[in-house]
């Protein structure tokens, strides 16, 4: 089973870089996962809530440890997020196009994370219905 298929079967996700700006992927991804029945937590220190859900400042602030972290942030922040995932025992990261710089992929691989870095979760959700 591919990492894509394995991660889509997991039901607890966090979206790092989630936003309440409807034009941005951070909003579209959070909304799509939520509508697809996933338990999904938005993470963004600059936003208090998205679609009525509390938005958390950091992964460590979540009430649960997500099974998958979807990353929609610039690579510089993405590298730090990989370390946060490792510290929290999160094994699965999904790097959206634009967040999937080689430096982030390398950082994730170096700490032993399972990485999806060539697929958009919006496309994959449509393909897996």
- Tens of pLDDT, residue by residue over 55-71, are 999 999 999 999 999 99
pLDDT tens figures, 117-126: 999 999 999 9
Average pLDDT, the chain: 96
pLDDT tens, 84-108?
Answer: 999 999 999 999 999 999 999 999 9
For 31-52, write each residue's pLDDT tens digit. Answer: 999 999 999 999 999 999 999 9
Global pTM exceeds 0.95: yes
- Asked if 56 contacts 83 with a C-beta cutoff of 8 angstroms, the reply is no
Residue pLDDT, tens place only, 3-20:
999 999 999 999 999 999
Q: CA-CA distance, 83 to 87, in Å (whole number)?
A: 6
Q: DSSP of the chain, one letter per residue? A: --HHHHHHH--EEEEET--S-TTSHHHHHHHHHHHTT-EEEEE-TT-SEETTEEPBSSGGGSSS--SEEEE-S-HHHHHHHHHHHHHHT--EEEE-TTT--HHHHHHHHHTT-EEE-S--HHHHHHHT-
Contact residues for 41 (Cβ-Cβ < 8 A; gap 6+): 13, 14, 15, 53, 56, 62, 63, 64, 66
Is beta strand 68-71 parallel, antiparallel or unpaired with respect to 12-16?
parallel
CATH code for the structural domain at 3-127: 3.40.50.720
What percentage of the chain reaches a pLDDT higher than 70?
99
């Amino acid at each position: 089973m591919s990492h894509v298929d394995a991660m889509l079967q997991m039901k607890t996700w966090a979206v790092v870089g989630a936003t309440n700006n409807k034009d941005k992927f951070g909003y579209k991804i959070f909304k799509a996962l939520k509508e697809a029945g996933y338990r999904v937590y938005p993470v963004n220190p600059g936003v208090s809530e998205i679609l009525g859900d509390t938005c958390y400042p950091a992964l460590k602030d979540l009430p649960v440890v997500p099974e998958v972290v979807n990353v929609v942030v610039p690579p510089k922040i993405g590298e730090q997020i990989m370390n946060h995932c490792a510290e929290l025992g999160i094994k699965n990261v999904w790097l959206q196009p634009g967040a999937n710089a080689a430096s982030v992929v390398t950082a994730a691989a170096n700490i032993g994370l399972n990485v999806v870095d060539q697929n958009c979760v919006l496309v994959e959700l449509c393909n897996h219905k």
